[in-house]
Amino acid sequence: MLVLWDPTWVTRLWCVFEIAAFQHSRSPGSKADLQIVPPLLGPTLLVFEMLLCIAAIVYDLIESSLASSEDGILAGELHLMLAGVLVLLVGLVTHLLRGYARSVEMLQDQLRGFKVENTSSACCANCKKGEAALCDRAVILECIAAWYESLDSFELHVQSDVQMAVIDQLAYRAISYQRALVLFTPYVWLRLGYAASHASDPIRQLVDLAQTFTYFLAIYPVMAKLCFRLCYSLRARCRRLYIDFFLSMAAVIGSFLFYVACYAIQLYVFRQSDRELLLSVISMICWWTVAVLLWRVI
């Protein structure tokens, strides 16, 4: 069952009832195949991917323009400037994610105190406009009485089982592994271009591909999930706007420090700069294993 969630969802009786009814229709012991997708998350992830795409294009242009240059200071300044702008823009994205986390927290509080009397129905809205309509609220209440025996039993089910299912989807499964891979596809495009430029050296191509899939399939997805979890942990809004934005930047910095640690391991343990095929393959397998473990923990 696919549900497109927005903050008004919990105020509509039919929306809450259909998830409860879907869970009720499952046989005992079986888990309901429920997928809840917040519409706000889609544009946020799209903006993040567009930023990475633009950054990849700019980075490729910088590398191309400096390929024949021996000015190391200029190259460092350009890379530092690009990194600074990217971190600032990603900070804006994390600011949006923290707002999303606050809306999920508000939803959790609303579900914990869910009462049928506080919800609205389509028939109620039509009656206010003076239109005659079938009272779907009465139909829903009859179904609740038949399936749950009492209104209190239904409300308890929503406050416990429905609340856990909804929050699990919105808070813990919002960033799936597949979505994380989609985010970092611009990185793969960039790296495949580098690999193609070494067509005369198959070993170098294999090394580039191994290192690419090390970052793409292991390091970057874990970094994205870590950033999302930090945004959720730091979701509380500060009174002052600039402090609130710095709190969003803290999530970016935490994720960046994770990347720095991974890059240092790649550089000094697996000697990434030596571009040895065996070490690159060993590194890829090790990081894939670590990513599987970390993905379950974070």
Per-residue model confidence (pLDDT) at position 219: 96
**Band of residue 130 on the pLDDT scale cut at 50, 70, 90:** low
Per-residue model confidence (pLDDT) at position 262: 95
Of 297, 162, 284, 157, the C-alpha closest to 229 is 297
Per-residue model confidence (pLDDT) at position 257: 94
pLDDT in tens, 219-252: 999 999 999 999 999 999 988 888 898 999 999 9
Residue type, 53: C
Residue type, 188: V
Cβ neighbors of 45 (< 8 A, separation 6 or more) are 179, 182, 183
Distance in angstroms (rounded) separating the CA atoms of residues 204 and 275: 7
pLDDT in tens, 274-285: 889 999 999 999
Per-residue model confidence (pLDDT) at position 52: 84
Per-residue model confidence (pLDDT) at position 129: 55
Is pLDDT above 70 for 124?
A: no
Higher model confidence: residue 33 or residue 297? 297
Bridge partners (DSSP) of residue 2 are 35
Count CB atoms within 10 A of the CB of residue 283.
21
Residue 268, burial from CB neighbour count under 10 angstroms (0-12, 13-18, 19+): exposed
Per-residue model confidence (pLDDT) at position 174: 84
Distance in angstroms (rounded) separating the CA atoms of residues 212 and 246: 32
What are the helix (H) ranges across the chain?
Answer: 13-25, 41-65, 72-112, 122-128, 136-148, 151-157, 163-167, 177-183, 185-196, 202-214, 220-233, 241-268, 277-297
How large is the average pLDDT for residues 162-178?
88
Q: What six digits make up the tokens of 121?
A: 């129905």
Calculate the average pLDDT of the chain: 86
Lowest mean pLDDT among 28-42, 47-61, 70-84, 251-265: 70-84
Each domain of the chain, given as residue ranges in start order, spans 1-174, 176-298
**Band of residue 42 on the pLDDT scale cut at 50, 70, 90:** confident
pTM: 0.83
